[in-house]
């Protein structure tokens, strides 16, 4: 895996926000629940359940290419960045390990000690731990930073599995054999929506925005198109950003509206969802008039990017209501 560029690109954003695909997430959660029930039945019956490869493994700089990048073409690899001295890591890691075992082949958990593997941490741009990312088909997918409760982690992993299957056709080595439930036939995808996704993935932002708008003109309630449009518009705003310059401007200008808006966009693209929401909620609380409306509307746009069903959106909506009323 190559070191991260200093400027942002479409692949990074697609990874950060694909987890909000509402339709895919719902299907994955249901499928995962069916799989869990079937695995429990198999365990009671004494049947052999296994993925054919380790579900939890320690990864080093020497094994990263094989165990993470190459493995990600077969199964989503969740990467847990931790350190022995990190208290929150000791709370989160057992949750991740338990869920990796529970999913039994749908994901692999790769644990990376940042003290022993500083080069990998630098390449991933890790600024604090615990930090959890994923690699799917060789593409980086930021998940979250900081401790999360088990319910939220479970939902995020179910959404990751959905994206891996829907976007990349990656299900995991044991998933098909263990589910015990025939997969429901998929509806044919809308060619216009497929074209819009392809434009976004290729970096044709103007084409993607127009394509999503065309879909929404015919299907105003299409949540996948709404999500795609929000993604494309966000990426268009951050294209060419110098992350260091953006963060410096925001730190030096807490009252600079544009600097704070840019920093919130950058937070979201980097997977720091709570930071982005918190920054904008705080900005709404500190501003008035047109500036307050601008900050509020930007926050609502970022809600669209993540998806209304995400618990972090619900928390931020409540915080927004408190500062508004």
Question: Catalytic residue numbers?
Answer: 86, 89
Mark whether 233 and 261 lie in a shared domain.
no
Is residue 1, in this structure, part of any structural domain at all?
A: no
**Domain stop point among 178, 203, 230:** 178
Mark whether 313 and 220 lie in a shared domain.
no
Dist CA 18 CA 293 (whole Å): 27
Mark whether 158 and 285 lie in a shared domain.
no
Mark whether 136 and 247 lie in a shared domain.
no
Mark whether 172 and 195 lie in a shared domain.
no
Mark whether 49 and 157 lie in a shared domain.
yes
Which residue has tokens 């928390």? 315
Mark whether 162 and 234 lie in a shared domain.
no
Dist CA 307 CA 300 (whole Å): 10
Asked if 304 and 227 touch (Cβ cutoff 8 Å), the reply is: yes
Mark whether 26 and 126 lie in a shared domain.
yes
**Domain stop point among 137, 152, 178:** 178
Mark whether 156 and 57 lie in a shared domain.
yes
Is residue 3, in this structure, part of any structural domain at all?
A: no
Mark whether 134 and 210 lie in a shared domain.
no
Mark whether 80 and 118 lie in a shared domain.
yes
Is residue 268, in this structure, part of any structural domain at all?
A: yes
Mark whether 138 and 90 lie in a shared domain.
yes
Dist CA 193 CA 211 (whole Å): 7
pLDDT attached to residue 166: 66
Is residue 76, in this structure, part of any structural domain at all?
A: yes
pLDDT attached to residue 243: 86
Express each pLDDT in 215-233 by its tens digit: 999 988 787 888 888 888 8
Express each pLDDT in 229-275 by its tens digit: 888 888 888 887 888 899 999 999 999 999 999 999 988 887 788 89
SS3 per-residue string spanning 227-244:
HHHHHHHHHHHHCCCCHH
Q: State the total domains in the chain.
A: 3
Intervals of the chain under pLDDT 50: 1-33, 35-36, 39, 42-43, 45-51, 174-188
Is residue 186, in this structure, part of any structural domain at all?
A: no
pLDDT attached to residue 97: 93
Give me the domain span that covers residue 196: 191-238
pLDDT attached to residue 277: 94
């Amino acid at each position: 895996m190559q070191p991260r560029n200093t400027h942002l690109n479409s692949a990074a954003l697609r990874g950060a926000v694909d987890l909000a695909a509402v339709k895919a997430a719902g299907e994955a959660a249901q499928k995962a629940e069916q799989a869990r029930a079937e695995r429990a039945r198999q365990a009671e019956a004494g049947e052999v359940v296994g993925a054919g490869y380790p579900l939890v493994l320690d990864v080093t700089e020497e094994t990263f290419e094989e165990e993470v990048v190459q493995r990600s073409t077969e199964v989503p690899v969740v990467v847990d960045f931790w350190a022995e001295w990190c208290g929150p890591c000791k709370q989160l890691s057992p949750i991740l390990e338990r869920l990796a075992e529970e999913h039994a082949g749908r994901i692999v958990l790769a644990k990376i000690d940042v003290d022993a593997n500083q080069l990998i941490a630098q390449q991933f741009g890790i600024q604090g731990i615990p930090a959890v990312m994923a690699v799917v088909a060789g593409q980086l997918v930021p998940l979250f930073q900081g401790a999360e409760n088990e319910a939220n982690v479970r939902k995020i992993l179910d959404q990751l599995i959905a994206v891996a299957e829907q976007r990349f056709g990656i299900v995991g080595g044991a998933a098909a054999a263990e589910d015990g439930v025939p997969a429901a036939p998929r509806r044919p995808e809308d060619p216009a929506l497929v074209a819009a996704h392809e434009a976004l993935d290729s970096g044709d932002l103007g084409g993607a925005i127009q394509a999503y708008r065309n879909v929404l003109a015919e299907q105003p309630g299409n949540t996948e198109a709404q999500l795609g449009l929000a993604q494309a518009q966000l990426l268009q705003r951050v294209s060419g950003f110098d992350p260091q310059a953006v963060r410096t401007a925001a730190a030096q200008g807490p009252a600079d509206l544009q600097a704070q808006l840019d920093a919130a966009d950058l937070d979201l693209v980097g997977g720091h969802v709570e930071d982005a929401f918190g920054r904008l909620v705080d900005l709404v609380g500190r501003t008035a008039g047109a500036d307050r409306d601008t900050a509020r509307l930007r926050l609502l746009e970022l809600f669209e990017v993540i998806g209304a069903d995400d618990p972090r959106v619900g928390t931020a909506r409540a915080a927004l209501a408190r500062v508004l009323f």
